[in-house]
Structure 1
C-alpha cells in the first residue's frame, strides 16, 4: 500500500532532521522512502518554508527507476571496495581469503565477497564450522540478534516482545532463553510506572451513548476511531496532546499538541486523521465525555465527516482503554525517560516517537506482534 505524506508531516520530518541532526539515510530507511525524496523535502523547505509542499505528498512512480539505479550503483561501489580491501589476499591461500570474508561479513554480503574474491560460499562456510562449534556460534549470533532488537526498540522491549520479533525473523527461541541472555548481557527495559489519566466531564454540554460498549474489536481500518487527551510536563509548563487511534490497526492516525487544552486541540487531531485516512464509510468515533469532544464545534465536524459519536460512561476509564493505553505507553517509553526544556522540544520528540517508532517500528501484541503500519498494509493486500 503506497503511503501519502501531507504537508505537516513533511515539515515536521524536515525540522526533526535539522534540529536533531539525524542522518538523512537513517530517516529515509525508517520511513521507507529514498534518500533523494528526503533531500527534495529539505531543499523545498529551505527555499520557501511558507509555501513548501503544496501538493498532496504522493511518492512519484518515477522514483522506482531511480531507486533501482541507485541500488546498482551501490552494488558496483561495494564490489570495487571489496576488491581494494581484498587485493592483498587474492594471491594467498584460501584460508586467508576466508578470514578476510569473515572479518568483513557485517559490512558486505558473504555471497558478494565470495563472488568477487573467486571462492565458493560452501568452502567459506565449511571453514567457519572448523573455527568454532555450532553451539557457540549459535549462542553468539543469538546474543547479537537480541542486542540489536533491544537497541532498535530504544531499549524498551522486554523478553516477551524480543522473543516474538525473533520468531517473526525465523529464529526458534523460547522467551525463557531470551530472558536469561538479556539478564547475562545486562539488557533491562527502561520503561517506568504506568500513567493514569483523568478527565473533567463536569459540563452542561450534550453527551452521547456508549455505542462502543467496550467492544474493542474492528473488522477493518477506519471502522472505529478512539480519541483522548494527555498531558506532558516541560520546564515551560504543560504540553497537551490529543490523539486519534484506529482500533483495527492500533495506528495513531491523527494527533496534535498545544500549550492549551481547548476544542481547537482535538479538532486539529481529528482533521489530520480524516485528511490522512480519508475513510470511505461511516466511522464510529469514541471518546470520553470531556468538554472538548462534547463541544458544538467538534460534534459538527463529526457530522461533516459522516462519523457516529460514542462516549464513555462517566467515571469509567475502561470504556476508552485502548487509547488510554497508548498514552500510558507514550509516558512510559518517552515522557518519563526524558526531561523537556521547552514545549517545542517535547513536541518534536513526540512527533518522532509516534511517526517513526510507534506507528512504523514498535510491535503490538494486540495485532500479532506486528507494527500498526505492517498490519494496515496486510489488510490492504488481502482486501
Structure 2
C-alpha cells in the first residue's frame, strides 16, 4: 500500500484529489478485507457471476430468435434488402444484433442509411407498399400474376418477375391448402343426359351455359354440403345452397335460387356430373319447367365439369381449408360472404381478362345496350 512507503496520508489524499476522510475510510475497508476492500469494485461471487452471464446469453439468444422469425425471407436477399429490414426494426432490436443475425457489416448498414434516397429507390418503396396493400385486400390470396394485373390496371408498369421478387423478399405468400373428398354418387339406375357440352368451355353471352356441382365443408357438427351453379360466360356463381345432407332437394334449391336471380330466357344449357341428385326425376322435371336443356359429364371424366370444379377447388384453398368451423351456421355465413362479396364482386379472374364476374357481366350488357341504341 502507498502509505507503507512512508508517505503522509494528507499528501496522498491531495495527489489523488480526494479528502483525508475518504482516504482513511478506504484504509479501514482495506484492513477489514484486503482482497475485496471497495464496494462497487464489480466483484461477484462465482455462482452469481455465472447466473448473470446465463441471463445475458438467454436475452441475446431470445432477441436473435425473434429477429430470425421476423426476417426469414431476408436472409438470402441482397444487402440492401437486409439493410431495409434493420432500418424498419431499429427501435425494436439493437442494430448490432440485427447485423450479426442478417450477416451484414454495421459499417455497410450505416453507409446505406446516409446514402441519399434515389428516385428509383422511392419508386421501389412505393411499389412495395402498394403490393402489400393489394395482397392484404385480397385476403392474402393473390399471387404475383394477379397483383401485377391490378397494378397495371392502376397504370403502374411492372413485370411479374419484379412483383414476385418483392413478394418473396417481404414474405408475402398466398395461403392455400389442398384436400379431397368425393361427393359424386354416379352408381345409380336413373337415366342420364348426353354430354352436350363436350368440354366446350366457352359461351357467347350470360345465361347460355350453367354448370353445377357439389362441394363440402367439415365442421365439428359434421359435414356441410354446398351446391353451386356457375355461369360459364361470366364465371359468376348465379345460385347456391348449403345443407347438412347431400340430397336432391339441395341441388333443386340451388337451381331455384339461380333461376330467381338471373331470370334467364329459354334455352340455358345446364351441365352437371352424373350424380343421383342431378339425375333424379324431380331435378329433371325442374329443368323442363325452366325450359333448360340437360347435359352430363361422361362417367369417370372429371374434366367434363372442370370449370365449376375449379371454383370449388378455389373456395377450398382460399377459405374452407384455412378454417376449422365449430358449427355449420358459421361455415355457411363465411361461404355467403366469400361467394356474394369476394368471389362474385371483388376477386379478379384470369379467364375473363382479370375482371370480376359482376364487372364482366355488366360490361357485356353495356355493350349490348350500346349496340341496340
TM-score by length of 1: 0.65
Residues 133 and 281 of structure 1: is their aligned pair in 2 closer, same or farther, counting only changes over 3 Å? farther
- What is the count of residue pairs matched by the alignment? 253
Give me the whole-angstrom Cα distance separating, in 2, the residues matched to 1:191 and 1:322: 19
**In 2: Cα distance, 1:351 partner to 1:300 partner:** 28
Asked if the contact 1:223–1:281 (Cα under 8 Å) also holds between the matched residues in 2, the reply is no
Whether 2:183 is the aligned partner of 1:182: answer no
Q: Tell me if structure 2 keeps the 8 A contact 1:218–1:224.
A: yes
User: Hey, what's the Cα distance between the residues in 2 that align with 1:267 and 1:232?
Assistant: 19
Deviation of 1:197 after TM superposition, in Å, equals 4.1
Shift of 1:253: 0.3
Find the aligned partners of 1:197 and 1:141 in 2 and give their Cα distance. 46
1:193 shift after superposition: 2.2
Q: Partner of 2:354 in structure 1?
A: 369
1:195·1:332 contact (CA, 8 Å) conserved in 2? no
Give structure 1 stretches of 5+ with no counterpart.
1-130
* Bigger radius of gyration: 2
- Report what 1:167 is aligned to: 152
C-alpha contact (below 8 Å) 2:217/2:225 kept by paired residues: yes
Taking structure 2 as the reference length, what is the TM-score of the superposition? Answer: 0.66
Aligned-CA RMSD value: 1.2
Instruction: Quote the Cα distance in structure 2 between the aligned partners of 1:178 and 1:281.
Output: 46
Name the CA shift for 1:222/1:198 in 2 (closer, same or farther; >3 Å): same
Q: For residue 256 of structure 1, what is the aligned residue in structure 2? A: 241
Counterpart of 2:278?
Answer: 293
1:240 aligns with 2:242: no
The answer to which structure, 1 or 2, has the higher relative contact order (CA under 8 A, 6+ apart) is 1
Once the two structures are superposed, the pairs formed by residues 145-156 of structure 1 within 5 Å of their partners are 145-156=130-141
In structure 1, what is the Cα distance between the partners aligned to 2:156 and 2:239? 35
Residue 339 of structure 1 is aligned with which of 301, 317, 324?
324
Mapped to 2, the partners of 1:195 and 1:237 lie a distance apart of: 16
Aligned residue for 2:118? 133
Q: Per the alignment, do residues 147 and 197 of structure 1 end up closer, same or farther by CA in structure 2, a change over 3 Å counting? A: farther
5+ residue gaps, structure 2: 1-115, 369-373
1:197-346 equivalence runs, <5 A: 197-346=182-331
Aligned to 1:144: 129
Instruction: Measure how far apart 1:220 and its partner are.
Output: 0.3
Does structure 2 conserve the Cα–Cα contact (< 8 Å) formed by 1:196 and 1:328? Answer: no
* Contact 2:183/2:214 (<8 A) preserved: no
Match of 2:87 in 1: none
Distance, in Å, in 1 between the alignment partners of 2:360 and 2:182 is: 28
CA-to-aligned-CA distance 1:179-227 (integer Å, 9 cap, x gap): 1111111111111226464511011111010000000000000000000
Q: How far apart are residue 134 of structure 1 and its match?
A: 2.2
2:176 alignment partner in structure 1 = 191
SS at match of 1:359: helix
Compared with structure 1, are the counterparts of its residues 159 and 195 closer, same or farther at alpha carbon in structure 2 (3 Å cutoff)?
Answer: farther
For 1:138 and 1:373, the matched residues in 2 are separated by: 33
Separation (CA, whole Å) in 2 of partners of 1:237 and 1:183: 38
In 2, Cα distance between equivalents of 1:292 and 1:283: 19
Which position in structure 2 is the counterpart of 1:67?
none
